[in-house]
Structures are given as C-alpha cells and as structure tokens.
Amino acid sequence: MKSLVIWGCGGHGREVLHLCEQIGIEVMGFLDERPEYKGQIIDDIPVLGDLPDISSLQEKVRIVCAGVGSPRLKKRLVEKTKKSGFQFAETLVHPSVFMSKRNRLGVGNVICEGTILTTNVVIENFVIINRSVNISHDDRIEDYVTIAPGVQIAGNVTIQEGAYIGIGSSIREKTTIGPWSVIGGGSFVKEDVPEQTLYAGVPAKFKKNLL
C-alpha cells in the first residue's frame, strides 16, 4: 500500500495515525488548512500544509479524509481532494475489529479498535466508526457518517448521509436516522429521526432543527 497522508492534525487525526502504526502502514504527514500548523511536528510526523503544498507527491501517496470527525468538514475535504486529482486511501480497519465476510465496505472509511460489525452490514464511504461500537445485522451506514465511541446500533437500522451519532448512544432496531442529523451523547433513539435535526436524551426527543 502507498504511504498515507491524513487530513486533520487534531485528536481524531492523531488517533488515525496511531491506527496506521498498529496496522503497519506508513504515514508521511498530516494535511491541515490552518496555516499556523504547517511545518509543525505532531506525534513525530510533519504537518505538510494544504493540498497544493504536496502536489509533487500526487503519485506517491493516498489521502485519508476520515481524519476529521465533523461530517460536513469531511465531505468538503473529500470533494476538495477529488478535485485535486489525489487518490483516496482504502478503508482502514483495526485488527481487533470483528467482521463477517458478508459485510460490504466502501472506500475511505476508518474502523477503530474493538468494534463489532455482525452480518450483512453495508458501510458506504468516508464513514468513521470509532472504538467499541456494536453494529448489528442488516444495518446500513451511508456516506460521511461519524459514529462516536461506544455506540450500540440494533439490527435493520439505517443511518443516512452525514449523520453524527454521539458518544455512548443506543439506536433501536428498524429505525432510520435522517441525513445530516445529530444524536446527542448518551441518548436512546426509539423512533425515526428526520433529516437535519438534533435529537437527544432517553428516550431521544427533538431538540432543534440544524438547517
């Protein structure tokens, strides 16, 4: 596999670096749009700057866009990376992840330590599944979704594009979380969540529109 460059030198980007170290993939550096970070060494690797700063590396590296947790920022970075002609990294899976051969994974996902995906699960593209998440049979996780640590998802759940599932939440079977919605940490979702809304609490209730 080619060397990787990770978008974002914040906490999640550094956790993705740690994941790469554990699976033995070389990381050449971080990308970050904030100019004040360019040239810094963070967790032993350089912040290389923005995409134009690494144009000479286009044939040598692949880019990890799921180094930032925000689904909207992730989508913007994916579009920018695609436009620049760089190639995306394959999905990165920690060796401790338990997964059936009947699951389907797209490109550019990051799946962290201790996560379980049982059977007939579909993970589309540029999804982050953080540590110790349980994903059950027939779940579908669409593009750009971010799932925080410790989330429990029952069977036949669909999480639509760009949704963010907060830390330690649980999602009841046969429910759908609408596109670009947010579930507050520690919630129990027992009914469908419409698009671009914040639901939170036990049981999770409508809190506000995110339009």
Report cis status (omega within 30 of 0) of the bond before 149.
no
Residue 184 near ligand ACO by CB under 6 A = yes
Residue 166 near ligand ACO by CB under 6 A = yes
Tell me which of 50, 137, 186, 196 binds ligand ACO, using CB under 6 A: 186
**Minimum separation from the CB atom of position 205 to ligand ACO (A):** 8
Q: What are phi and psi of 18, to 5 degrees?
A: -60, -40
Tell me which of 10, 103, 185, 196 binds ligand ACO, using CB under 6 A: 185
Residue 148 near ligand ACO by CB under 6 A = yes
The number of angstroms, rounded, from the C-alpha of 59 to the middle of its chain's C-alpha atoms is 24
Tell me which of 10, 106, 114, 201 binds ligand ACO, using CB under 6 A: 201
Q: What are phi and psi of 176, to 5 degrees?
A: -125, 130
Q: What is the greatest pairwise CA distance in the chain?
A: 52
Q: Residue 6: which residues within 8 A CB-CB, separation 6 or more?
A: 13, 16, 17, 20, 27, 29, 30, 31, 63, 64, 67
Cβ proximity to ligand ACO: between 37 and 199 the closer is 199
- Binding residues for ligand ACO, per CB under 6 A? 130, 148-149, 166-167, 182, 184-187, 198, 200-201, 207-208
